[in-house]
Structure 1
Amino acid sequence: MKIINAPIICLLCFLSFSTTGLSQYKKIDSLKKELKTYTRKDTVRVKILNHLAYYLYRNNFSQSLAYAEQAGKLADEIKSVKGKARSFYMKGIAYMERANFKVSIHNYEKAIELYTSIDDLKGIAGCKNALGVLYNYKGNKKLALQYYEEALAIDQKLGIKKNLPNYQYNIGNIYSDIGKYKKALANYKKALRAYTNNNNEYGMLSCWNSMAMMYLNQGDYSQAIEYHHKSLDLAKLSKDSLSIFQSLNNIGNIYRQQQLYDKALDFYKKALAIKQANHNNKNIIAIKNNMGGIYLDKKKFAKALSCFKETNTLSKAIEDNEYLAVSLNGLGFSYLGMKNYSKALANFQEANKITSVNQKQYELVESYVGIAYVYYYMKKYNLALINAEKAAQLANKYKLLKHRSDAYELLSLINNELGEHKKALISNQQLKILNDSLLNREHIQKITEVEYEYKYKNELASAEKRELRLTQTVQTTTNSLEKSQRNLLLGVIAFLITTLVLGAAIFFLKLRNEKSKTQNIIIEQKLLRSQMTPHFIFNSLSVLQGMILNKEEKKSVAYLSKFSKLLRITLENSRDKTVSLSQELIAIKNYLALQNLEDKTYIYTVIVEEAIDTSLFEIPPMLIQPFVENAIEHAFVNQKEDRIIDVHLSYSNENLICTITDNGIGVDAQKEKPQGTKKSLSTTITSERLKILSKDFKMSSSVTVEDRKKYNEQGTRVTLIIPYKLQENVS
């Protein structure tokens, strides 16, 4: 069964304001106060009422509708055609959010009629874009794209550029749904850049969710989970219950894709527990379809049947053919598992009719596979062959690997029954090729283990050689310093009295410079040792050994891959005075992922502001990791859940600023505990190192550790001002 992502729709709001999630509630309060103080019955009051309807439509349907109705009545009273049109538009948005499409369309058409009467092209464009969202919501991609293009043409005619990212995002959704992933991703990235520059947080989380879905479809789980967590964090900050619901569903989808069914079900249930989001039947359908798919995978056909019956009823009630096709295929496979072939066939055929029209290729191929299986089990082999061949043809066209495997397996079985043994052999060989490339995980694991063992030994030997060279360099520098002191002393004695002061100054500067170099080399050597302690290596290997003994093959390979990558990056970075900021961030992400891979008890983010091009910044290596390590080691004493670590990089007043925050017990509480006096060796070394680096880079650098309770928050904040060099951007 296909994994269903709860959709985030992006409306192009043509009103003269923009919404940002973090200020939404303040804006609502401000508008309510303004409504109380402004009592005149004019167009200004109509605008305030329509504004309130817009800010409330996602999370408070009844209040949003009430304000839109009030705006419409007042507009009638003062004969404001534009205000009346806006009230219809706001009601259309509210009813669409409730998946009441008939009423929503009626309100949009009324709004277009009024805007047309006063030749308000901007208003017409907003309504057409909203209709595009609605028909995309219903699964009519062709009509949705038509409305988007009509709205875009109007805005281009008017010279309006601010709505461009909304169109790019919505058109990206269309391309994603019809399988044109490169075009979809290109539109999402353009929209995200614009939303970030405009600080449009709702637009940003919409893009993050959609991009995560794209990466999930391509099997890139790490990118998918990263973007979904970005969206979830922003949704929680803005207290947007619908976006939280959608992000929880989508994170559950990633676990389902990895066959971690119990974890997936936990996230689905958390999403369903959000009462404010349950008013939207489409959200409920998405979750229930996903749960039904898990029960199918676990061969719990009765539970799956129950889920798909519920989503079938809900999809018909809101006339959503896209999700109706998913539920019909789900019912087909449920009945197939229960050997009720007649009902299975009826549901597959109905799904096939729907998907042939709305171009949803995944469900279309799914229906052909289901029909072929039914005819095969009914021993109607000729009919089974026709549908299996169609499934294979479409699966190859759309590059659906799972369905290709299913189709070849069916063709092999059917041709054997028909006596076409040569064709059966060909299909079986094609199936074997697919299985060899996709399913032979044990062989891949063995190759990976051998490869990383070899790399690990080489890197370890290389590290020992570098440490020896560092020791020799320290000794040579010390000897050089002593010789330099003697030579300078003899020179000072030989100088004339008139040049004594100048000679002493030169001597002092050279002495300080040599000591600084020596101290820097010693500190870098200590830092390398702190990164490469046997305790760290053997502890990681012990965790890996436990996974292998528990036969957690996937987990152990993932852990070994992360560990090897972190080890290699750490060793490579330690040999250079500066490294690319992008390379340093890769090391931080791998370190966090490695620490979190065992039991996934941390939620972490690594966010870089849009203004920073990480490929241009060169920084000293291994500055950030000690403070991340401190957060993991000391921040969460007796705190087993909801442990959050955030790393954020910003650029302000020519300062590169890194903040590391956690929601643990706080640095003040750590100091009160006996172990709180035991400072991290790596942190101490880093603090000493910053003093030297400030002089080397000729810019200020510092580290500040604060307890977040001074900001009425929980945990610790570390602010690190990092010295840097900028590379020239060669294009």
Structure 2
Amino acid sequence: MKVINTPIIYLVCFLSFSTTVLSQNKKIDSLKKELKIYTKKDTVRVKILNHLAYYHYRNNPSQSLAYAEQAGKLADEIKSIKGKARSFYMKGITHMEQGNFKTSIANYEKAIQLYTSIDDLKGLAGCNNALGVLHKYRGNLKLALEYYTKALEIDQKLGIEMNIPNYLYNMGNIYSDMGKHDEALVNFKKALKTFTGSNHQYGMLSCWNSMATVYGDLGNHPLAIECHNKSLEIAKKSNDPLAVFQSLNNIGNIYKQQELYDKALSFYNQALDIKQASQNIKSTNAIKTNMANIYIDKEEFTTAIPYFIEVISLSRKIKDNEQLAVGLNGLGFAYLGIKKYPEALANFKESNKITSTNQKQYDLVGSYVGMATTYYYMKKYKEALIHAEKGAQLSKKHNFLIHQRDSYKLLSKINNELKEHKKAYASQQQVKILNDSLFNRENIQKITEIEYEYKYKDELASAEKRELRLTQTVKTTTNNLEKSQRNLLLGVIAFLITTLLLGATIFFLKLRNEKSKTQNIIIEQKLLRSQMTPHFIFNSLSVLQGMILNKEEKKSVSYLSKFSKLLRIILENSRDKTVLLSQELIAIENYLALQNLENKTYKYTVFVEKTIDVSLFEIPPMLIQPFVENAIEHAFADQKENRIIDVHLSYTNKNLICTITDNGIGVDSQKENKKENKKSLSTTITSERLKILSKDFKMKSSVTVEDRKKYNEQGTLVTLIIPYKIKEVQ
């Protein structure tokens, strides 16, 4: 039996809108002195008390609550609504850090009520952000996003730019939990840039931790460890025990992912040795979950069970549904390992109920797979089939490859028991495909790690070699001072040889560059000839002649206008290395309109997403039109009606992507109808051209042609990744 491992729990810092300083201890000492000197009962003293509460809430929560209580009482005496609201806010974040969510929410609501009464939008933004953090802790991602959005809207209204990175960071964490890794990294990197510029220590620490979590989820362990080490460095400089605890735990998690269990346990134990961290139930709960999962990985199920029971008990106590679901799934698989099926099923069902409402998709899929596995071993095959199918469907939707593979493996076994051998065989084929995908992904991860290790080992070796050479040079200079003339002569000779070698290298590079330019010109000429074929020109003129003979004056004038405009645009574009995207699109639209003017036999669209400003993007000319022409000439061999051609441009991950789709016979059928030795001219020339353009533009570019039947659709899909430059706005 293969037990599906539960995901590793990563710890990250959450952010507040209050200003943090380089040395927290120095700030606390300064505030204490200020409190001792300033004895006047007014709003200044209330602020000092609230500031002291803030700087204690993470490492000394009891002292934080004491300062917040004093601030609240003094605010009541002097009738400071704002000071009282801030004291409730401080109580809220302190109780939240301890996992006392119900008490925390009550304090936030009181703060919101007071801030609303005095129309303090800044205070309301802080409370909404904090409630977003709280609901994220509890696993209610949808509600967390709602509160973050409210806070963001308020600060945008106020024009408070300094708070924007906080929202970017918090929303990045939501995207990370939803499995939207690209969106998460974009938000974290933007936030990190701002935090670094303002030297915001907690902000930088939190971003590094969160980015490491994403890289860990993607299997890029070297980058994950690098990010966590940067986080650990900041935590130690800031003298923040809880942040050090978090970084040690997270580094342990990366080693756990690589099945380096001794290293992982070493970092976990270092983290647990930090006494201040024991006051934070959520943090200690997370690390115990990770240690329990090591025993699950090692199939030491009886050792893992007490850990999971403790995690579940503490999660219920602080109402942490997110970690409760993880613990329940873990305990379910542990019971499954020792064949206690009723106990396993009960835990999976409870986890499923929680994760069905809190949007934590990975744990939800895990509970379905767990229930399906349990029902299978209990020989309740119909129930097992229902849950395995749900697991397969959800894991496919969210691209959880391991869950997806194990779901299909179960489906194969279950259908065999139900005598549905055809379905069982189909599921087994899916298992093979997914095993190949996982194998390839693991190989890519290993190659990445090897490259990373080689890079730094090579740099270290180079440094050692440089040091050795320097030592030898000093020794030689000291011992052979009298031979300086000979050394000078050798130096001159070496200089002359180096000069000759450099000259030869420059000549070779220049020659290669000229060859590349010549090759590029030849390909451009080939493309122009393939685009403006005599066949196309002859057909166009024949159509025009027919219109004139039929005395269709308006139609012929329109046709001639479009034809001449198209010729002019293509000839003008062919002279330039790059043209505006808007010009290229005009050429394509004119071409489609021209082809459609005679009989109106095609429906076509040219759609550009709003994120693209066509007046700013500059691209190589004549990349898109050949594929549009292919669709018109070859896609609809026997199809007289409902002919559709769609051109769509999008901008994703700094890639300019153009897709050309049709609903014709499909590229596979086209290949069967053509001679075996005949290749697509436009695809061949464009592929050759893109190889050169990739080097010129120093960015990725490619063309792929697919039959849409692989997506259960009809027709052909051409995907172009187009190299581009952004025109500078004057």
TM-score bin (small chain) = 0.5 to 0.7
Q: Which amino acid aligns with 1:58?
A: R
Q: Which has the larger radius of gyration?
A: 2
Query: Could you tell me which residue of structure 1 aligns to residue 194 of structure 2?
Result: 194
Query: Could you tell me which residue of structure 1 aligns to residue 339 of structure 2?
Result: 339
Say whether residues 1:626 and 2:478 are aligned partners. no
Query: Could you tell me which residue of structure 2 aligns to residue 117 of structure 1?
Result: 117
Pick closer, same or farther for the CA change 1:354–1:392 going to 2, 3 Å. same
Quick check: 1:241–1:276 contact (8 Å CA) kept in 2?
A: yes
Separation in 2, partners of 1:240, 1:6: 18
Q: Kindly state the Cα deviation for residue 680 of structure 1 after the two structures are TM-superposed.
A: 13
Query: Could you tell me which residue of structure 1 aligns to residue 20 of structure 2?
Result: 19
Consecutive unaligned residues of structure 1, counting only runs of 5 or more, are 446-553, 567-586, 596-624, 635-670, 697-728
Separation in 2, partners of 1:290, 1:377: 27
Q: Which amino acid aligns with 1:29?
A: D
Query: What is the CA RMSD across the aligned residues, in angstroms?
Result: 3.2
Q: Which amino acid aligns with 1:245?
A: F
Q: Superposition pairs for residues 639-650 of structure 1, below 5 Å? A: none
CA offsets per residue over residues 613-632 of structure 1, 9 Å max, x none?
Answer: xxxxxxxxxxxx537975xx
Q: Superposition pairs for residues 541-690 of structure 1, below 5 Å? A: 561=451, 589=456, 591=458, 626=463
Q: Kindly state the Cα deviation for residue 434 of structure 1 after the two structures are TM-superposed.
A: 2.1
Quick check: 2:11–2:250 contact (8 Å CA) kept in 1?
A: no
Quick check: 1:50–1:86 contact (8 Å CA) kept in 2?
A: yes
Separation in 1, partners of 2:154, 2:449: 53
Q: Superposition pairs for residues 134-283 of structure 1, below 5 Å? A: 134-283=134-283
Separation in 1, partners of 2:276, 2:465: 36
Pick closer, same or farther for the CA change 1:185–1:440 going to 2, 3 Å. closer
Separation in 2, partners of 1:678, 1:311: 63
Separation in 2, partners of 1:366, 1:679: 67
Quick check: 1:408–1:427 contact (8 Å CA) kept in 2?
A: yes
Pick closer, same or farther for the CA change 1:560–1:361 going to 2, 3 Å. closer
Separation in 1, partners of 2:231, 2:109: 33
Quick check: 2:222–2:449 contact (8 Å CA) kept in 1?
A: no
Separation in 2, partners of 1:203, 1:47: 23
Q: Kindly state the Cα deviation for residue 31 of structure 1 after the two structures are TM-superposed.
A: 1.0
Q: Kindly state the Cα deviation for residue 678 of structure 1 after the two structures are TM-superposed.
A: 7.8
CA offsets per residue over residues 617-676 of structure 1, 9 Å max, x none?
Answer: xxxxxxxx537975xx99xxxxxxxxxxxxxxxxxxxxxxxxxxxxxxxxxxxx9xxx9x
Q: Kindly state the Cα deviation for residue 52 of structure 1 after the two structures are TM-superposed.
A: 1.0
Q: Kindly state the Cα deviation for residue 12 of structure 1 after the two structures are TM-superposed.
A: 3.2
Query: Could you tell me which residue of structure 2 aligns to residue 602 of structure 1?
Result: none
Quick check: 2:15–2:202 contact (8 Å CA) kept in 1?
A: no
Say whether residues 1:5 and 2:9 are aligned partners. yes
Separation in 2, partners of 1:424, 1:9: 47
Separation in 1, partners of 2:29, 2:425: 71
Q: Kindly state the Cα deviation for residue 220 of structure 1 after the two structures are TM-superposed.
A: 0.8
SS in 1 for 2:422: helix
Q: Superposition pairs for residues 132-531 of structure 1, below 5 Å? A: 132-439=132-439
Say whether residues 1:64 and 2:68 are aligned partners. no
Q: Kindly state the Cα deviation for residue 730 of structure 1 after the two structures are TM-superposed.
A: 9.7
Q: Kindly state the Cα deviation for residue 437 of structure 1 after the two structures are TM-superposed.
A: 3.7
Separation in 1, partners of 2:167, 2:373: 42
Pick closer, same or farther for the CA change 1:23–1:386 going to 2, 3 Å. same
Separation in 1, partners of 2:324, 2:302: 19
Quick check: 1:4–1:287 contact (8 Å CA) kept in 2?
A: no
SS in 2 for 1:39: coil
CA offsets per residue over residues 81-137 of structure 1, 9 Å max, x none?
Answer: 111111111111111111111111111111111111211111111111111111111
SS in 1 for 2:179: coil
Q: Which amino acid aligns with 1:19?
A: T
Quick check: 2:388–2:411 contact (8 Å CA) kept in 1?
A: yes
Q: Kindly state the Cα deviation for residue 6 of structure 1 after the two structures are TM-superposed.
A: 3.5
Separation in 2, partners of 1:629, 1:273: 41
Query: Could you tell me which residue of structure 2 aligns to residue 510 of structure 1?
Result: none
Pick closer, same or farther for the CA change 1:146–1:333 going to 2, 3 Å. same
TM-score of the two chains, using structure 2 as the length reference: 0.62
Separation in 2, partners of 1:409, 1:558: 29
Consecutive unaligned residues of structure 2, counting only runs of 5 or more, are 479-486, 500-725
Separation in 2, partners of 1:232, 1:263: 17
Quick check: 1:46–1:75 contact (8 Å CA) kept in 2?
A: yes
Q: Kindly state the Cα deviation for residue 293 of structure 1 after the two structures are TM-superposed.
A: 1.2
Separation in 2, partners of 1:48, 1:350: 46
Pick closer, same or farther for the CA change 1:629–1:97 going to 2, 3 Å. farther
Query: Could you tell me which residue of structure 2 aligns to residue 90 of structure 1?
Result: 90
Q: Which amino acid aligns with 1:120?
A: D
Q: Kindly state the Cα deviation for residue 436 of structure 1 after the two structures are TM-superposed.
A: 3.0
Pick closer, same or farther for the CA change 1:334–1:5 going to 2, 3 Å. closer
Quick check: 1:308–1:328 contact (8 Å CA) kept in 2?
A: yes
CA offsets per residue over residues 200-227 of structure 1, 9 Å max, x none?
Answer: 0110010010011111111111111110
Q: Kindly state the Cα deviation for residue 3 of structure 1 after the two structures are TM-superposed.
A: 3.0
Separation in 2, partners of 1:76, 1:119: 19
More displaced stretch, 367-376 vs 262-271: 262-271
SS in 2 for 1:388: helix
Quick check: 1:141–1:358 contact (8 Å CA) kept in 2?
A: yes
SS in 2 for 1:199: coil
Pick closer, same or farther for the CA change 1:320–1:25 going to 2, 3 Å. same
Separation in 2, partners of 1:70, 1:83: 11
SS in 2 for 1:12: coil
Separation in 1, partners of 2:413, 2:325: 27
Pick closer, same or farther for the CA change 1:440–1:214 going to 2, 3 Å. closer
Pick closer, same or farther for the CA change 1:195–1:680 going to 2, 3 Å. farther
Pick closer, same or farther for the CA change 1:441–1:281 going to 2, 3 Å. closer
Separation in 2, partners of 1:560, 1:82: 56
Separation in 2, partners of 1:247, 1:679: 48
Q: Kindly state the Cα deviation for residue 385 of structure 1 after the two structures are TM-superposed.
A: 1.1
Quick check: 2:10–2:213 contact (8 Å CA) kept in 1?
A: no
SS in 2 for 1:124: helix
Quick check: 1:5–1:213 contact (8 Å CA) kept in 2?
A: no
Q: Which amino acid aligns with 1:331?
A: L
Quick check: 1:171–1:184 contact (8 Å CA) kept in 2?
A: yes
Quick check: 2:13–2:202 contact (8 Å CA) kept in 1?
A: no
Quick check: 2:6–2:330 contact (8 Å CA) kept in 1?
A: no
Separation in 1, partners of 2:141, 2:25: 34
Quick check: 1:177–1:360 contact (8 Å CA) kept in 2?
A: yes
Pick closer, same or farther for the CA change 1:425–1:99 going to 2, 3 Å. same
Pick closer, same or farther for the CA change 1:560–1:228 going to 2, 3 Å. closer
Q: Which amino acid aligns with 2:29?
A: D
Quick check: 1:82–1:115 contact (8 Å CA) kept in 2?
A: yes
Pick closer, same or farther for the CA change 1:626–1:365 going to 2, 3 Å. same
Separation in 1, partners of 2:440, 2:50: 59
Q: Kindly state the Cα deviation for residue 76 of structure 1 after the two structures are TM-superposed.
A: 1.4
More displaced stretch, 392-401 vs 62-71: 62-71
CA offsets per residue over residues 151-202 of structure 1, 9 Å max, x none?
Answer: 1111112221111111111111111111222211111111111101111011
Quick check: 1:3–1:253 contact (8 Å CA) kept in 2?
A: no
